[in-house]
Structure 1
């Protein structure tokens, strides 16, 4: 089994995390699932995988890889992401969205 960074350590990996506001778990899940297909069409996309916590249902993570920071920036400015960002105050808990840009070192 391989991951995208096995062959290319220069990829920009992103781990984004968020927790649904109480009672908004299904709405947040649906909103996140709607981001996947348009994101797969973007330049610089490598993978965009949505996960939900086993221990803490309603906490979601995207594990993403992009060819560059510029590609990620374009993704964050894409209409489907801008529309999602406008819904953050309604869908997410008080901690909001956390985005970590990381590089694989081992």
Structure 2
């Protein structure tokens, strides 16, 4: 099965992850799901896939691909993302949000 970077190794891949604060798992899950639709309409979007850990429910991961770092930066500044970022202290555990920018090398 093909992945977005099979055809374009220049894509910027992002793996972002976070863990819900205790008791906030359902609320965070729904908030994250709400980002997917608006994000799919953004300039530079390739994919924006939300995952939840099987071993650690309440730990969420986004696997994303963007055409450029500028497109990712615009996404991170978008109103729907900014609204969630404001809720990080309420919804996420003490580790907060981790965003890793990656380039495929093999």
Instruction: State if a TM-score over 0.5 links the two structures.
Output: yes
- TM-score (structure 1 length as normaliser): 0.99
Alpha-carbon shift at residue 33 of structure 1 (Å)? 0.2
CA distance in structure 2 between the aligned counterparts of 1:4 and 1:13, rounded to whole angstroms? 9
Matched, 1:31 2:35: no
Alpha-carbon shift at residue 94 of structure 1 (Å)? 0.1
CA RMSD of aligned residues (A): 0.3
Matched, 1:84 2:60: no
The answer for the alignment partner of 2:10 in structure 1 is 10
CA distance in structure 2 between the aligned counterparts of 1:104 and 1:52, rounded to whole angstroms? 23
- TM-score (structure 2 length as normaliser): 0.99
Show structure 1 runs of 4+ deviating over 6 A. none
Alpha-carbon shift at residue 99 of structure 1 (Å)? 0.2
Alpha-carbon shift at residue 29 of structure 1 (Å)? 0.1
The answer for the alignment partner of 2:105 in structure 1 is 105
SS at structure 2 position matched to 1:62: strand
Q: Deviations over 1:42-96 (max 9, x none)?
A: 0000000000001100000000000000000000000000001001000000000
CA distance in structure 1 between the aligned counterparts of 2:20 and 2:95, rounded to whole angstroms? 10
CA distance in structure 2 between the aligned counterparts of 1:105 and 1:54, rounded to whole angstroms? 27
If each structure's strand is expressed as a fraction of its own residues, which one has the higher value?
Answer: 1
Alpha-carbon shift at residue 98 of structure 1 (Å)? 0.2
Question: Aligned residue pairs: how many?
Answer: 106
Matched, 1:63 2:63: yes
